[in-house]
Amino acid sequence: MREILYLEIPTPDTATVLCWLQNKFQPGTGEKVLTPSGFRLRTSDPTTTVSASFPEKLASELSVFVWSVQRTTYLKAFRWADRPFSDEGQILKRLTTGIRSRFPHEYPKPKAIDLSSSTIFEALAPYYPLTAKYFQKMPNGESDLKRVYWWEQRWREGVRNPQQPFQVIFSQGQGENFTTSPFPQYDLIYIGGALGVIHAAVMARLGYKVLLVERLQFGRMNREWNISRDEIQSLINLGLLTPAEVETIIAREYKDGFNKFFDANNPPKLKAPILHTPTVLNVALDSEKWLRLCGEKLRAAGGEIWEQTEFLRADLDNSQVVVSVKDLVGGICKQVSGRLLVDAMGTASPIAWQLNGVRAFDSVCPTVGAAVESGFEPGVWDSQYGDVLYSHGDISRGRQLIWELFPGAGEELTIYLFHYHQVKPENPGSLLEMYEDFFAILPEYRRCDVDKLVWKKPTFGYIPGHFSTSSRDRTVAFDRLVAIGDAASLQSPLVFTGFGSLVRNLDRLTALLDVALKHDLLSFRHLNQIRAYQSNISVTWMFSKGMMVPTGKFLPPQRINTMLNNFFGLLADEPPEVAENFIKDRFDWLTFNRLALKAARKNPALLLWIWELAGAKDLIRWTGNYVNFGRHALAVALLGGWLPRFLKRIQSWLEPRYPALWLQLLTINYAIATGRPRSQAQLLKSQESIVIHSRVHSPES
């Protein structure tokens, strides 16, 4: 038998597809014989040859059948013959055309709900029954499900109206008249208490007067965080944590992490072994304990936290930023002023949408999941291991679904389901649809009875991506305003979120912001240099582009898994440090080119597939990225050996006299140092090469 057709039909209603195949589809020739999962089509074309195994000449047949996995439907057709028979191509074309016409892509959006007459569970149950059912079993499930719904609505609104985003930042003369003290009350005002509190605590410990504004109850997180030992070292180097404190926030450190993509439908040469990454995301943090610890350090350094307080708007003038907020408990609106506003609101940030409009985010990973306290049978998973990237099926309803699994304290497992997604108004990406998938297909991924699982909390969010063509093509700042974390959307397209990007660049962001504040370099042209951009990441966005199914388009179901196995198979053949450096965004120009050429030689069709997925416009954009990456590599070769030492020698003379030039040179130094393959000893040495922090004197002092 020979497989001659493989299709994904974007509907979970396999029974309706089967009914259509058996009762509506007319092949136009041959005898149609129904089977439990499809039909057989007998023809009179004698194309099967006589052999020792089959001395009689058998009639040619097609076998067409469907099955369901990942809440979608798949179809295959096999031929019982050595070679195509007459009308075979027409039959397959008629079948494909009929299926695409009857079962097109659908991108449902959540219905408007009225919570004045029903609970969130009752309102969503008709559309997302599994989601409503299992959120009811979670602590704080009602408020968390409201937040899922709110976040999706907020995200959809931003995607739907990117050209005219809701204005929340007003320059002098634009906004309302406001009154406040003649001097700023704070040096820094952070909006967003998850990633915001990490950076805020570091800046407060440098002597800045800091206010943190958080919409939720402070310390509540709808994510868990994983990192590695060498990356968390930056928190120790900056003095935010002691080695002993780091140990208190580690929930689990596992031995190895697996990367494996479904390859049952890949050609043999493009199947891949498991890629082992034992030092990637292998340290699970207790996120809520971590946030509380940062909050304690922030307060101990004189900072303040306003929780359950919503950001409304910010008015900017030459001397300060005035932020209007609303106390969600008391309903009171108030204003507070500062020297600088830091946007740490993530993808829900209206500031990011206003600053970047239609280019706020080029891609997104809708991500859902949960922390599970217990309920898996013994032997289902060994808590000494994690899944970094894993797929158990091909494209499902226009998405390549990918799992992550990280062990936590005790029996706890944190599980994520996500996909890489192009941002389109008609298809912005849905958290609620993903949650319905998560609860339905979790037993396919890891054997379990979902009803027996003990849930700790849900984990969800929109993780953004930006396809940068240069270090300046995305706006991360305004006068007296700068964005960090997911709001800046400059992180790796592979496995790291805004948290990983922030921690890996914390020293860089802190040093540059310290200089800007100390010398009052708070205009757009200065603050827009303070970003976590890396030129090597800018070339790998084509990799994430190859993991997205364009809206409304049908691809061969195995296409994305084939591409992933092609590349990760190469990494599995490399020394362990090469894979680690690549996934941690520490790779140089030579390594990138060597791996890209190996991938193309192994699968020449890869270039055509990328063209099909990306299109001419994005390939031209990527060419510009590649040229910039080459220029950056040249700059590293020319400057990397002597610039840090030179800056260290001239700092005491140059910084007081020409602070703007010093900020620019320091920015260049971090740009050439960040993302280079290096050992931990080299990392520590580079971090100590320049004196970056000094005590700031606020206006009040």
Q: Domains of the chain, with CATH numbers?
A: 2-102 (3.30.310.50)
Q: What pLDDT shows up at residue 696?
A: 37
Tell me whether strands 2-9 and 72-80 are parallel, antiparallel or unpaired: antiparallel
Q: What pLDDT shows up at residue 271?
A: 93
Site of tokens 């050429």: 597
Q: What pLDDT shows up at residue 469?
A: 65
Per-10-residue mean pLDDT, the chain, length 701: 94 97 92 95 65 56 95 95 83 96 94 90 96 97 95 87 78 60 80 90 95 89 85 88 94 95 94 94 91 95 94 92 93 94 85 74 88 94 94 96 94 95 90 97 97 96 75 76 78 59 85 95 91 78 82 95 93 92 85 91 87 81 86 89 91 94 93 68 43 39 33
The DSSP element (H or E) to which 189 belongs, if any, is: strand 186-191
CB atoms within 10 A of CB 23: 9
Residues 6+ apart with CB under 8 A from 339: 184, 186, 187, 188, 320, 321, 480, 517, 520, 522
Q: What's the CA gap between 396 and 445, in Å, rounded?
A: 14
Q: What pLDDT shows up at residue 100?
A: 97
Residues in the chain: 701
Q: What's the CA gap between 410 and 407, in Å, rounded?
A: 8
Q: What's the CA gap between 178 and 315, in Å, rounded?
A: 8
Q: What pLDDT shows up at residue 161?
A: 76
DSSP 399: B
CB-side neighbour CA atoms (13 Å) of 338: 27
The DSSP element (H or E) to which 454 belongs, if any, is: strand 454-465
Of 226, 277, 585, 229, give the one whose Cα is nearest residue 405: 226
Q: What's the CA gap between 377 and 380, in Å, rounded?
A: 6
Contact 674, 505 (CB under 8 A): yes
Q: What's the CA gap between 371 and 139, in Å, rounded?
A: 11
Q: What's the CA gap between 323 and 337, in Å, rounded?
A: 6
Q: What's the CA gap between 95 and 89, in Å, rounded?
A: 10
Q: What's the CA gap between 330 and 469, in Å, rounded?
A: 45
